[in-house]
Amino acid sequence: MDTFAMFIHYVGNRGSIWDTLSVTVHYCPQSAGRGRIPIRNPVVGSYVFVLRHIRRSQWRDVVCNAETAAPLVMGADSGPGAPPTVPWRKVLYERQPFPDNYVDRRFLEELRRNIRVRQYRYWAVVREAGLVAQQLSCVAVFLTLWFYMERGDLGPSTLLWASLGFALLGYGLYEALGGGSRERTRLADLQSAAIFLAFTFGFSPVLKTLTESVSTDTVYAMSAMMLLAHLVSFPYTQPSPPGSLSLNAALFGSVCLASRLPGALHTFAMLSCALLVFALWPCLLHRLRDHAEWSFPCAAALVCVAGVGGLASFWPEGALLLFLALLVLTLACPLLLVHLQRHKDNIHGPWDEAEIREDLSRFLS
């Protein structure tokens, strides 16, 4: 078995005077030679600190052979004239002849590795990644509808009737999957919808002229930034209800795009469609994922196909980019996550922060 010497510099009780402690460590290197490794960071004889300064390839060898290491004495009792040997206790409420940060040779006995590492299954990760892919496709569907309205191929009345039909269908499905767990009455839902539609229709002429003094390039840039912010801040883990930042960013981008449409009715139809896509659809999708798991992948795949197909109808290059992005998000990224998870190496021990696991509610009442 090979040995090498380490020099650990630490600040002793004499303030600015530097002492040197020589520690002999036995280990079984695979390819390393012998030598002296200077550790220049000021520490006080921490055995784990020594191990962390060894190259990664030697870490397991050192841990495995830590029990065969030479006797190690740390702290203030390492020099001449040290006090008699007394058993060290891991307490701070009584005076001991050791520094406050003293540790003995049992320090590594509590070392634990990968105790909180979560193992993922590939297809489970792919299923969860479908939520990100379908949200990106929702933005593509909304841009497709706006493009055809701006070009005049899609009338506002057609979009309004289609939005109304999808809203009623989605609300019925939402109610069917919800069972008896309702926090709001149907009358409250109807009142909320009526208030939104009334205010949106009343302010449509104002929203139509909101960005008349702003150049079209600036409006498009602001819309792109807001839709990107919507995708970044969207609460994918709990998409019901959408976060305020995500929903506000999406509605702001929708207002910017709707202000470039021909008339006030076009603006009203576009904003109603935006509410359906960015606010109501995530709620229904969350309900599908909780109560009808088999339908969630089908719904996400249908939205992805609609997004790619819509872009392909007027921008084939964009549809190709979206298709490749969806493949990377749903297939490549989960594979990379599962592969990298196998190489995770976390260590836990007495150096970690303390965690209070006792119920402290009785002290707060």
List the alpha helices (DSSP H) in the chain: 47-52, 59-64, 122-151, 156-178, 186-208, 216-233, 244-258, 264-275, 281-291, 295-312, 316-327, 333-341, 361-364
Helix (H, G, I), strand (E, B) or coil at 37: strand
Cross-sheet strand order for the sheet of 18-27: 18-27, 2-11, 37-39
- Report the pLDDT value the prediction gives residue 287, as an integer from 0 to 100: 87
How many Å apart are CA 364 and CA 91, to the nearest integer? 27
- The rounded distance, in Å, linking the Cα atoms of 51 and 214 is 62
Tell me 68's DSSP state: G
Alpha carbon 365 to chain centroid distance? 34
The pLDDT value recorded for residue 243 is 61
Give the Cβ contact number of residue 235 at 10 Å: 16
The answer to whether the beta carbons of residues 250 and 278 sit under 8 Å apart is yes
28 contacts: CB under 8 Å, gap ≥ 6: 1, 2, 61, 64, 65
DSSP state for residue 23 in the 8-state scheme: E
Coil, helix or strand for 306?
helix
pLDDT in the model for residue 66? 37
Helix axes 244-258, 216-233, angle to 10 degrees: 160
pLDDT given for residue 241 in this prediction: 60
The predicted pLDDT at position 179 comes to 56
Whether 18 and 79 have beta carbons less than 8 Å apart is answered as: no
Quote the CA–CA distance of 264 and 11 in Å, as a whole number: 75
Q: What is the pLDDT of residue 40?
A: 37
Q: What is the model's pLDDT at position 18?
A: 34
Q: What is the pLDDT along the chain (365 residues), one digit of tens a residue?
A: 333 333 333 333 333 333 333 333 433 333 333 333 333 333 333 333 333 333 333 433 333 333 333 333 344 444 444 445 678 887 778 888 888 778 777 777 778 888 877 888 999 999 999 999 999 999 999 999 999 999 989 999 999 999 999 999 999 998 888 755 566 788 888 888 889 889 999 999 998 888 888 998 999 999 999 999 999 999 887 755 656 789 999 999 999 999 999 889 999 999 999 999 998 998 888 888 888 888 889 999 999 999 999 999 999 999 999 999 999 999 999 999 999 888 888 888 877 777 777 777 777 76
What is the structure's pLDDT at 108? 78
Place of tokens 């320090």: 107
Q: Which CA distances in Å does 341 have to 115, 238, 262, 288, 306?
A: 13, 23, 52, 29, 33
- Do the beta carbons of residue 27 and residue 2 sit within 8 Å? yes
